[in-house]
Structure 1
Amino acid sequence: MGTTAKDLLNAPLPSEILKGSNLSTEASRKYIQNMLQQHLPSTDIKYLRNDLQWQFILEQHSLRKKSARRPKKTFLTRQQRKEANLLKLPREGWSYKSLGIIRNMWKDYMRQNLDFIKKAPSPVDPDWNSFSLVVAKSELIGAEIKVIRSKVPSLIGMSGTVVLETKLSFQIVTPQSKLKTILKEMSVFEVILDNLRFVFFGKHLATRPNERSVKKIKLQMIPDL
């Protein structure tokens, strides 16, 4: 039987090629150049000099890219935050006046968020949905909020600057520089920005602030207060 193409493909390299396997890099270059000059057609030899400029890329570069390892992020557990008193604010030592800087920062932040509107749209306007979503997902720390309705009568009329928001409550500093905690579920809140007045039903904000920014917001809700 004659030699087939498959046999030729699977055959070991000729000895005259294998003998150069232990040569240095420079000697290997010269060895391959000489071999190509001997076996290439004369029409291709004139291109040999330019072709050899990129024939040895694999010798200097790895096919496998080395990916830089990102440092693993470490977060404090809730228990660790609790032990370090990071979940509680001090009851004393607050100054309502000094929080004016935070209130102004919040106003600038909200003005930037609502920059795309000229005036507050009505529920029948095309911009109402996007306007409502921006407001509902905005950060409230630094906002001056007021309780306008509540199941706890003593809370009605209470106002202050939000210094901490949790899933179920707001902690505010009142104009009397007192730290107060207000449960969201039981109250309706009012926030005023320039000539805009926002009303929030606390039960609809009963989620963690970091989750509210990505959570799907219901655009139509039935108030119960």
Structure 2
Amino acid sequence: MANSDRATESLKEYLTDLVVPHHRCNVNIISDHITMLHGNKSKKQLSRKKRAHKSATLTRKEYAALGLNTLPTRQMRYEQALPLHKLWRGYIREHLELQPGDQVPQLHEQRYEEFSRQLVKIDLHGAKLRVLQSKCPTLIGLAGICVMDTKNVLKLLGEDHRIRTVPKSECVFSMHVGNMEFTIFGQHLNMRPAERSVKKIKSFVEPFM
């Protein structure tokens, strides 16, 4: 009640100040005619505020329209991607818990399936990849550092400083980690890296020395 009384008095003072000074003596504000509203914002007000906040972010279509999901095909140099590859090598060793001298698990070993699942979940940004097989003959042999990994394609920056788009589903890729070589079937990479890292995946990777 004390808070309500203070609010009422403050409102009276505010309204009185709005009146011309020499007429203020005639102002008679009846407290019973004042209704003070209290409480939290309604769900409708909160949802409207939330929608306004969401509208400040870009949708996928807006993101694509601005060209934020594309890369210049001839303005990047291979040497510029080498630091990214160096970071990726440290990341992959940590992700797969590799130690110097480790060998690829064999099919009969207990940790083979888990190793294969973790291998498919990796983020390929910075990885050096080569196309071993493809439905499109012109893609076979293409190699480079992965500079973009989307749901359906990989973009590889070659030593000739050109970025080439390679569809995942039509290709089989080769990847080296130290003295180990892995074969990864692109059809099983058809999802965004963030989704792939948390999705349960069956073992379909065939690593070999």
TM-score class, shorter: 0.5 to 0.7
What residue in structure 2 maps to residue 214 of structure 1?
198
What residue in structure 2 maps to residue 49 of structure 1?
none
What residue in structure 1 maps to residue 119 of structure 2?
135
The 1-side partners of 2:204 and 2:186 are apart by 15
The 1-side partners of 2:135 and 2:90 are apart by 32
Q: Secondary structure at the match of 1:170?
A: strand
Aligned residue type for 2:65: E
Structure 1 residues 189 and 138: CA distance shift in structure 2, 3 A: same
Aligned partner (choices 149, 156, 159) of residue 143 of structure 2? 159
The question of whether the paired residues in 1 share the 8 Å contact of 2:78 and 2:159 is answered with yes
Aligned residue type for 1:208: R
What residue in structure 2 maps to residue 195 of structure 1?
179
Q: Secondary structure at the match of 1:164?
A: strand
Larger radius of gyration: 1
Counterparts of residues 1-225 of structure 1 (less than 5 Å): 75-115=57-97, 118-220=102-204
The 2-side partners of 1:141 and 1:128 are apart by 24
Pick 1 or 2: higher relative contact order, CA cutoff 8 A, min separation 6. 2
How big is the shift at 1:143? Answer: 0.2
Aligned residue type for 2:132: I
The 2-side partners of 1:113 and 1:91 are apart by 30
Structure 1 residues 110 and 211: CA distance shift in structure 2, 3 A: same
After superposition, give the CA deviation of every residue in 1:135-188 in whole Å (9 maximum; x if it has no partner): 111100100000011111111111001000111100111110001000111110
Q: Secondary structure at the match of 1:177?
A: coil
The 2-side partners of 1:218 and 1:75 are apart by 35
Identity of aligned residues (%): 33
Aligned residue type for 1:85: G
The 2-side partners of 1:124 and 1:186 are apart by 29
The 2-side partners of 1:185 and 1:94 are apart by 26
Q: Secondary structure at the match of 1:146?
A: strand
Q: Secondary structure at the match of 2:176?
A: strand
Q: Which blocks of at least 5 consecutive residues in structure 1 are unaligned?
A: 1-21, 23-70
Aligned residue type for 2:90: D
Q: Secondary structure at the match of 2:82?
A: helix
The question of whether the paired residues in 1 share the 8 Å contact of 2:76 and 2:161 is answered with yes
The 2-side partners of 1:97 and 1:116 are apart by 26
Q: How many residues align?
A: 154
Q: Which blocks of at least 5 consecutive residues in structure 2 are unaligned?
A: 3-49
How big is the shift at 1:116? Answer: 5.4
TM-score w.r.t. length of structure 2: 0.68
The 1-side partners of 2:98 and 2:70 are apart by 37
